[in-house]
């Protein structure tokens, strides 16, 4: 079982990522920390706590992270995730008091006291991870790996060349890819291929437990804001992009993905490609291959993992 801390900004796909981490017998989820991204920090924190209430796992500690990116004002994705950050379903209120510890202190406490190395999974902007790396260099060796959703070798979804999570806090992403820690990146190249379809939502709904029905409601909302590729004709059916669960699924079972070691740098300059991950796909620069970059997902097995996640829960 891998010791894991999940840093997330729920967020519809974060919700699936969190549930996947809870349900997996390969993951011992030690804590959840929340980043500001899809919604404002108070909302992503509240959503993470509600999701743990839904999953009946409120013993897992949740801590709020930084309220804004390292050097920039916060950008949120309300048009994708709604006013609450998790529009589309009613979630239960938490039954335990909110913890007052910061994400940074909680991550540090856990790593300091862990005999085993801990894997950090990030499914929002990398602000909290960067702050941790900067403030606790002595604990870097306690990190097994950082697996994050963000970036793209090709394209973008917030600007022509930048994916949202990286665009929100490019300085943080820059710190993470330069950290010297083992880093795995799940960007749009692979996450746009990790799709669920109408029939999958139906199957999830029919599993029938409260978690599955709630997740089906969330996916119905998320489907409304799914972007359709420019080349789609009237016969094309675009599924729902399960971006964030890729970063968790890789920690559960790396054989679900094709990843390749490559040099990755982050554009932090104020220009057209601000917030893009510059992935040296053809090794043109011959620089250190600092990041394992995901490109392919075994969709039938990924889908199976989603269904197993939903079946794990019972009322
Ligand atoms: Ca997210």
Q: How far is the CA of 14 from the centre of ligand 1 (A)?
A: 5
Tell me what pLDDT residue 315 has: 87
With 0.95 as the threshold, say if the pTM is over it.
Answer: yes
Task: Name the catalytic one among 12, 161, 223, 243.
Answer: 243
pLDDT tens digits along 139-172: 999 999 999 999 999 999 999 999 999 999 999 9
Q: How far is the CA of 215 from the centre of ligand 1 (A)?
A: 15
Q: How far is the CA of 36 from the centre of ligand 1 (A)?
A: 9
Backbone angles phi, psi at 213, to 5 degrees: -65, -40
Instruction: Quickly tell me which residue has 């079972």 as its tokens.
Output: 253
3-state secondary structure string, 160-184? CCECHHHHHCHHHHHHHHCCCCCEE
Q: How far is the CA of 124 from the centre of ligand 1 (A)?
A: 4
- Sketch out the chain's domains with CATH numbers: 2-312 (3.90.245.10)
Give CA–CA dist 44/37, Å, rounded. 8
Q: ∠63-191-55 over CA atoms, to 5°? A: 40
pLDDT tens digits along 72-109: 999 999 999 999 999 999 999 999 999 999 999 999 99
Q: How far is the CA of 133 from the centre of ligand 1 (A)?
A: 20
The two three-digit tokens of residue 135, written as one number = 């403030």
Q: How far is the CA of 231 from the centre of ligand 1 (A)?
A: 26
Q: Which has the closest alpha carbon to 44: 125, 153, 104, 157?
A: 125
Distance of CA 299 to the CA centre of its chain: 18
Active site residue 136: no
Three-state DSSP class for 265?
Answer: strand
Give CA–CA dist 257/237, Å, rounded. 23
DSSP state of 61: -
Tell me what pLDDT residue 227 has: 85
**pLDDT lower than 50: segments of the chain:** none
Ion ligand 1 — residues with CB < 5 Å: 9, 11, 14, 123-124, 244
């Amino acid at each position: 079982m891998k010791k894991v801390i999940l840093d997330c900004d729920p967020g519809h796909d974060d919700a699936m990522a969190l549930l996947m981490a809870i349900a997996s017998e390969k993951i011992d989820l030690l804590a959840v920390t929340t980043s500001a991204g899809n919604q404002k920090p108070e909302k992503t924190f509240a959503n993470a706590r509600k999701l743990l209430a839904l999953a009946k796992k409120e013993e897992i500690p949740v801590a709020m992270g930084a309220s804004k990116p390292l050097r920039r004002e916060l950008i949120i994705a309300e048009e994708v995730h709604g006013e609450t950050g998790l529009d589309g379903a009613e979630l239960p209120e938490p039954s335990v008091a909110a913890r007052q510890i910061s994400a940074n202190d909680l991550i540090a406490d856990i790593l300091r006291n862990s005999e085993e190395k801990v894997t950090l999974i990030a499914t929002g902007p990398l602000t909290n991870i960067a702050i941790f790396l900067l403030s606790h260099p002595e604990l870097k060796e306690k990190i097994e790996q950082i697996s994050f959703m963000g970036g793209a070798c090709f394209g973008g979804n917030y600007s022509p060349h930048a994916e949202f999570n990286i665009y929100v806090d490019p300085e943080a992403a820059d710190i993470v890819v330069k950290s010297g820690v083992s880093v795995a990146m799940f960007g749009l190249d692979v996450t746009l291929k990790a799709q669920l379809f109408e029939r999958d939502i139906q199957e999830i709904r029919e599993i029938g437990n409260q978690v599955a029905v709630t997740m089906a409601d969330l996916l119905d909302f998320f489907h409304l804001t799914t972007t359709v590729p420019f080349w789609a004709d009237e016969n094309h059916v675009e599924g729902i992009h399960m971006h964030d669960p890729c970063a968790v699924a890789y920690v559960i079972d790396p054989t679900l993905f094709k990843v390749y070691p490559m040099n990755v740098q982050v554009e932090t300059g104020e220009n057209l490609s601000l917030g893009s991950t510059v992935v040296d796909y053809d090794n043109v620069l011959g620089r250190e291959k600092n990041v394992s970059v995901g490109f392919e997902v075994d969709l039938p097995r990924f889908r199976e993992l989603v269904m197993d996640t939903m079946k794990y829960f019972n009322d």
